[in-house]
Amino acid sequence: MDKIVVHGGARLEGELRVNGAKNAALLIQCAALLTSGKTTLRHVPQLSDVRTMSRLLERLGCAVEGDRTLAIDAAGVGDGPCEAPYDLVKTMRASVTVMGPLLARYGRTKVSLPGGCAIGARPIDQHLKGLEALGANIELSHGYVNLEAERLHGAAFVFDTVTVGGTQNVMMAATLAKGTTRLENVAREPEVQELATVLNKMGAQIRGAGTSVIEIEGVDELVGVDHAILPDRIEAGTIAVGAAITGGEVLLLDAPVDHMHSLIGKLEDAGVQCVVEPEGLRVYGPDQIEPVDVVTRPHPGFPTDMQAQFMVLASVAKGRSMVTETIFENRFMHVPELQRMGADMHISGNTVVIRGVDRLSGATVMATDLRASASLVLAGLVAEGETEIRRVYHLDRGYESIEERLRGLGANIERVSGARM
Ligand code: EPZ
C-alpha cells in the first residue's frame, strides 16, 4: 500500500493548472447512459473514482475508451441487466446516480444500496422518493433497489433535504419523462449546473439549474455530445490553502473563481490575499494567518468538501476559530490525526474549536476519507520534520498525482509505493 512522506517548511510557489472536476466528471459519465450515441469528455481528471465509474459503465454494456479524453458509447446498454452491482457501488456511492438514467432510458434498473460511509449514514431516500414521484415502481430486496417504469411522467416534487446526488439523479430521469417536472429545494452546486448544461447540449430542456427550483420539459431522445469538464473548485481550494499556510504565492490557472466566492471570502477573512487574474486566481500566503469561523452549507454556502482543509489553516492561525459541519454527521475523522500532529482542537457536537499553535509537528497519520487525507498532506507541508500519511488510496480518489503537483510548487513530498505497513 502506498504512503506519502512530507517534510515541512517549504513555501508553495509557482503556477498550477486546475484539473477537471471529479464531481462533475462522474455525473456526466452517468449522463452518457441517457443517449444511444457517443459522448466524449475532455479534461477528465485521472482519478480512481473516474476509473471505477468507467468500469461500471462497461459492466452496463458501454464501450469506454481513453483517459484524459474519454469516449463513452452507450449503444450496447439495453441488452444487459441494467444492474449496478454491490462490488462497485460499495467502493463508490456516486454509482447510485446511474439509477435515474437507466430507469428513464430502459424502464428498469437494479442498483445495490450503497451502505454506510466514513463521513455519515448518507441514505438515498430522497433519490427514491423523487423517482417514485415520476412514476417509478420501487422494491427493495437483498440489498438492492429494483426500479421499473414503462415511461416516467413529469411531476412536481419537493426535496425534504438539499441533496446534490438526489437532484442530479431525478433531474437526469426527468429529461426523458413524458411532460413537465418541477423540482423544488434542489441543490445549487456548480456540478449540478454543469450537468444541466451537458444535458441541454444533449437535447434536454432544463431551466433553473443553479437556483432552488429546476423545471424539466421531457423529450423523447437525447444525443451524444463532446464536452470539456469544468475545473475543480475543491482541488483549487485545497492548493489555495497550501499556498496560504506556507506563506507562498501560487497562480491557480483556470480556477473556477465564480464557484469559489464563499471559499475566497473565508480565505480573505483569514488574511490571505486572493487576486483574480485573467488566467485564474493568484493566492498570496500572509506572514500571519487570522482566526476564522466557518459553517458548512449547501452551495453557495461554504463547501463541506473544504472543511478539513480549513481546519489546518485554523490550526496555525493566531487565535481561536470554530468550524461547524452541518452537511455530514461524521466528518471529523481528521481531528484525532491532526491532534497527533500537535493541533489544539476539540470536538463539541458538530463544531470543532481550534486554538492556533505556532507549529505542528510531523507524525505518522492515517487517512480516513478523501478530504481528510488532503488535510493531512496540508498539515505535513507546515509541520516540523517528517509526516507519513498512510492509506493514501483515499487521496487518489479525488486528487490526481497530488505529490507531483505539490512538488512542482516546491514542496518536499514523495510517494512511497507498496510500502509494508
Ligand atoms: C456530493 O455527495 C459530493 N459527491 C460530495 O463530495 C459532497 O460532499 C456532497 O455532495 C455535498 O456537497 C459527489 O458529487 C460525487 P448529498 P452526495 O446527497 O450527493 C443527506 C467529495 O469529497 N441525504 O448532497 O452524496 C446526506 O446524508 C464528496 O468529493 C439524505 O438524507 O451528497 C447528507 O447528510 C464527499 N437523503 C446530505 O443529505 C438522500 O437521499 C447531503 O448529501 C440524499 C442525501
What is residue 419's predicted lDDT score, i.e. its pLDDT? 55
Q: Given this model, what pLDDT does residue 415 score?
A: 97
Q: Which atom of ligand 1 is nearest to the CA of 327?
A: 34
**How high is the pLDDT of residue 160?**
98
Looking at ligand 1, which atom is closest to the CA of residue 122? 27
Residue minimizing CA distance to atom 20 of ligand 1: 122
Q: State the distance from the centre of ligand 1 to the C-alpha of 341, rounded, in angstroms.
A: 29
Q: What is the pLDDT of residue 118?
A: 80
Q: How far apart are the CA of 93 and the centre of ligand 1, in A? A: 9
Q: Report how far residue 151's alpha carbon sits from residue 219's, in angstroms, rounded to the nearest whole number.
A: 12
- Euclidean distance between CA atoms 370 and 373, whole angstroms: 5
Closest-CA residue, ligand 1 atom 8, reads: 305
For residue 57, CA distances in Å to 61, 80, 416 come to 6, 11, 32
Tell me which residue has its CA closest to atom 4 in ligand 1: 23
Phi, psi of 16 (to 5 degrees): -145, 130
Distances from the Cα of 327 to the Cα of 93, 117, 253, 297, angstroms: 16, 14, 29, 7
Query: What is the whole-number distance in angstroms between the Cα of residue 9 and the centre of ligand 1?
Result: 35
Q: How far is the CA of 51 from the centre of ligand 1 (A)?
A: 20
* 193 HSE (CA, 13 A, CB side): 13
Ligand 1 centroid distance, CA of 164 (Å): 6
Q: How far is the CA of 11 from the centre of ligand 1 (A)?
A: 34
Q: Which three cell numbers stand for residue 374?
A: 488532503
Q: Which amino acid is at 62?
A: C
- Cα(172) to ligand 1 centroid in Å equals 17
120 grid coordinates? 455519515
CA 332 to chain centre: 17
- What is the pLDDT at residue 420? 53
Task: Identify the residue whose C-alpha is closest to ligand 1 atom 26.
Answer: 122
The answer to whether the Cα torsion of 185, 188, 192, 193 is positive or negative is: positive
List residues with catalytic annotation.
117
The pLDDT tens digits for 152-199 are: 999 999 999 999 999 999 999 999 999 999 999 999 999 999 999 999
Closest residue by Cα to atom 5, ligand 1, is 305
Atom of ligand 1 nearest to the CA of 234: 29
For the chain, the C-alpha Rg in angstroms (whole number) is 21
Compute the distance from residue 420 Cα to the ligand 1 centre, in Å.
34
Residue of 47, 124, 164 with the most ligand 1 atoms within 8 Å of its CB, for mutation: 164
Q: In 3D, which of 411, 413, 408 has the Cα closest to residue 389?
A: 413
Residue identifier of the C-alpha nearest atom 35 of ligand 1: 305
Residues in the ligand 1 pocket, defined by CB under 6 Å? 22-23, 26, 93-94, 120-127, 161, 163-166, 187, 191, 304-305, 327-328, 370-371, 398
Looking at ligand 1, which residue's alpha carbon is closest to its atom 1? 164
Residue whose CB lies within 8 A of the most ligand 1 atoms, among 127, 162, 327, for a mutation test: 327
> Which residues of the chain register pLDDT less than 70?
419-421
DSSP percent split of the chain into helix, strand, coil, nearest 5? 35, 30, 40
Ligand 1 atom nearest to 165, measured from its CA: 19
The pair phi, psi for residue 180, each rounded to 5°, is -100, 135
pLDDT, residue 81, reads 79
What atom in ligand 1 is closest to the CA of residue 304? 8
- pLDDT at position 184: 98
- pLDDT tens profile 243-299: 999 999 999 999 999 999 999 999 999 999 999 999 999 999 999 999 999 999 999
What is the value of pTM for the model shown?
Answer: 0.97
Residue 165 is predicted with a pLDDT of 98
Closest Cα to atom 18 of ligand 1: 163
Grid cell for residue 128 = 427514491
Residue type, 86: Y
